[in-house]
Amino acid sequence: MTAKPIDLEQVRADYQALTHKFQSTLMATVSADGEPEASYAAYVRHDDDYYIYISELSAHTRNLSANGRACLLFIEDEDKAAHLFARQRVTYHCAAHEVARDTADFEHIMALFEDTFGAFIRQLKAMQDFHLFLLHPERGSFVQGFAKAFAIEGDELATVRHINDIGHREQAKPSRANA
């Protein structure tokens, strides 16, 4: 019996649909001292990049300024998952850089934030300790379930590759001769 081939275009559609279900992302950053920090931020997406508007009072802002790297996680809600140990999730490893306030890009992205999150953004925009960061995904992964893990890579993340098409390995059971 042969296994049905995986439709990688359907996989791509599935992971893109998962990321579009959220207005915020879980985020991992690392300080200049190498200390990890887990956090989250509301975002807007534009031209396949993610933008976050965050306060310098937060550790993740200082971390992004220090090393320009972040990892984003979009994960299926526990109550919607078929199995807690196999929640669907997309992870993106990103290059990050600040978008200067005095630019057309800043104004355009902040208008998208206001369109998405409402007039509250005008108050945040006036706060000078907030900074706009562009997070550009360079590679990623999508876990769709048990033995359904995919790498997202290549130019413009155009390549989806099944990571392990043979499944998980179980521990060998001792033979009766060894028992």
pLDDT at 170 over 90: no
How does residue 22 score in pLDDT terms, banded at 50, 70 and 90?
very high
Taking alpha carbons only, the member of 84, 82, 125, 134 closest to residue 105 is 134
- Domain boundary assignment for the chain: 12-162
pLDDT of residue 172: 62
Each residue's pLDDT tens digit, 117-157: 999 999 999 999 999 999 999 999 999 988 899 999 998 89
pLDDT of residue 4: 75
Taking alpha carbons only, the member of 45, 26, 6 closest to residue 90 is 26
pLDDT of residue 167: 53
pTM of the model: 0.87
- Helix (H) / strand (E) element for 40: namely strand 36-46
- Percent of all residues in the chain with a pLDDT value above 70, rounded to a whole number: 90
Each residue's pLDDT tens digit, 93-106: 999 999 999 999 99
Class of domain 12-162: mainly beta
